[in-house]
Amino acid sequence: MNDYTKIGFVKAFAISPGVPQSARVLEVPRPEPGPSQVLVRVLEVGICGTDSEINCGLYGEAPPGEEFLILGHEVLGALDNGDLVVPMVRRPCGRCRHCGSGSQDMCDSGTFTERGIKAVHGGLCEYIVEDPSMLIAVPPAMRAYAVLLEPMSVVAKGLRHAQLIQKRLEWGPRRALVVGAGPIGLLATLTLRMLGWEVVTAARRSGDSEKGRLVRSVGAAYHSVAEAPLSELVRGAGAFDFIFEASGSAQAAFDSIHVLAANGVLCLTSVTGGTAAQSVPIDRINCDLVLGNKLIFGTVNAGLVDFTEGLAYFERIEKAYPGKLQSLLTGRVSFENAQTMFEIQKSGIKTVFTID
Q: Is residue 165 part of a domain?
A: yes
Residues 168 and 135 in one domain: no
Residues 139 and 157 in one domain: no
| Last residue of one domain, picked from the residues 277, 298, 319 | 298
The pLDDT value recorded for residue 5 is 46
Residues 127 and 219 in one domain: no
Q: How many CB atoms lie within 10 A of CB 319?
A: 9
Residues 92 and 218 in one domain: no
Residues 267 and 292 in one domain: yes
Global confidence as pTM: 0.94
Residues 280 and 346 in one domain: no
Q: Is residue 211 part of a domain?
A: yes
Residues 193 and 294 in one domain: yes
Burial class (CB in 10 A: 0-12, 13-18, 19+), 198: middle
Number of domains in the chain: 2
Residues 46 and 166 in one domain: no
Q: Is residue 285 part of a domain?
A: yes
Q: Is residue 307 part of a domain?
A: no
Domain at 350, CATH number: 3.90.180.10
| Last residue of one domain, picked from the residues 298, 316, 342 | 298
Residues 165 and 275 in one domain: yes
Q: Is residue 247 part of a domain?
A: yes
The pLDDT value recorded for residue 7 is 58
Per residue of the chain (356 residues), what is the pLDDT tens digit?
A: 344 444 589 999 999 999 999 999 999 999 999 999 999 999 999 999 899 999 999 989 999 999 999 999 999 999 999 999 999 999 999 999 999 998 999 999 989 999 999 999 999 999 999 999 999 999 999 999 999 999 999 999 999 999 999 999 999 888 999 999 999 999 999 999 999 999 999 999 988 899 999 999 999 999 999 999 888 888 877 899 999 999 988 888 888 888 999 999 999 998 776 677 777 788 888 898 999 999 999 998 899 999 999 999 999 999 999 999 999 999 999 999 999 998 988 888 999 999 96
Q: Is residue 319 part of a domain?
A: no
Q: Is residue 323 part of a domain?
A: no
Q: Which range of residues forms the domain containing residue 234? A: 152-298
Measured distance CA(172)–CA(36) in Å, rounded? 47
Q: Is residue 314 part of a domain?
A: no
Integer angstrom CA distances of residue 305 from 92, 103, 259: 15, 9, 30
Measured distance CA(132)–CA(139) in Å, rounded? 16
Residues 29 and 91 in one domain: yes
Residues 172 and 226 in one domain: yes
Residues facing 352 on adjacent strands: 46, 332
Domain at 272, CATH number: 3.40.50.720
Residues 198 and 115 in one domain: no
Side-chain-facing half-sphere of 164: CA atoms under 13 Å: 8
